Amino acid sequence: MQGFFITLEGTEGAGKTTVVPYIKDFIESKGMICECVREPGGTAIAEQIRAILKTPCSEKMDNVTELLLMYAARCQLVNSYIKPKLAQGVCIVCDRHDLSTIAYQGGGRGLSMALIESIRNIALGDFKPDLTLLMDIEPAAGMQRARSRGETDRFELEELSFFTRVRESYLEAAKTRSEVEVIDSSKDREQVRAAVTDIMEKFFNDKTIAMA
C-alpha cells in the first residue's frame, strides 16, 4: 500500500510545528508508519540549502535565486527521500511544501506564477500532496508568536506587509485546491487539535472507501 503525503502550510507562527505530532499520532493509531520532515531541508544536501535560505546575510538574495534554491532543496527531498518512503508504505508529514513557494515567492515576493510553474514542472512534475492543512492566523499575531521564540531568521525579518501578501496568497490558493483544508490556528491548542483530528478522520475514511 502506498503511503500518504500530508503537508502543513501557513505563515510564520501559525503553529505548524505544534500540529505535526498530532498528525503523526493519528496516523500511527491507524496502524501505519509515519515519518516527519521539513522544508526546506530534510536531507543532508537540502539542509545545507536551508541554511543559505534562512540565515540573514549582508548580501541581498535575488528573488529568483531564492526560488531556485527552494526548488533545489525540494527536488532533493522529494526524489531521494519522500518518494522512496511513500513507495514502501510509509506516510510522510512535511512541514511546508510547494504551496509555500506559491505563497512566499509568488504572493510575498511577487514572482509570476508562470515562472514558478515552469520551475516546479522541472523539479516535481505532477507530484503533489494527498492532503494539505493550511494553518491560518492573522500575520501580526503569527509574527508575535514567531519573534517570541528568539532569534529571527531571514524570512522572519520581513515587514508585516510581506506576510499579509503571503496569507492572502495562501487563502486564494485554498479556494481552488481540493486537497487543502484551512484551520483557524488562532484558537487554543485543544480546539486546533480537535479540528486536525476531524480532518484526518474524514481523510482516512474517504481513502478507505476509495480503496474498498
For residue range 52-63, what is the model confidence (pLDDT) as tens digits? Answer: 999 999 999 999
Q: Is 156 annotated as a binding residue?
A: no
Instruction: Give the least confident one: 35-44, 61-70, 72-81, 146-155.
Output: 146-155
Q: Is 17 annotated as a binding residue?
A: yes
Domain count, the chain: 1
pTM for this predicted structure: 0.94
Q: Is 87 annotated as a binding residue?
A: no
Q: Is 13 annotated as a binding residue?
A: yes
Q: Is 202 annotated as a binding residue?
A: no
Q: How far apart are CA 201 and CA 195, in angstroms?
A: 10
Closest by Cα among 178, 142, 190, 154 to 58: 154
- CATH code: domain of residue 65: 3.40.50.300
Closest by Cα among 165, 182, 154 to 19: 182
Nearest 10 degrees: Cα torsion 21, 26, 30, 36: -30
Strands (E), the chain: 5-10, 34-38, 91-95, 131-136, 180-184
**pLDDT given at position 208:** 72
Q: How confident is the model at residue 147 (pLDDT cuts 50, 70, 90)?
A: confident
Residues in the chain: 212
**Host domain of residue 92:** 5-210
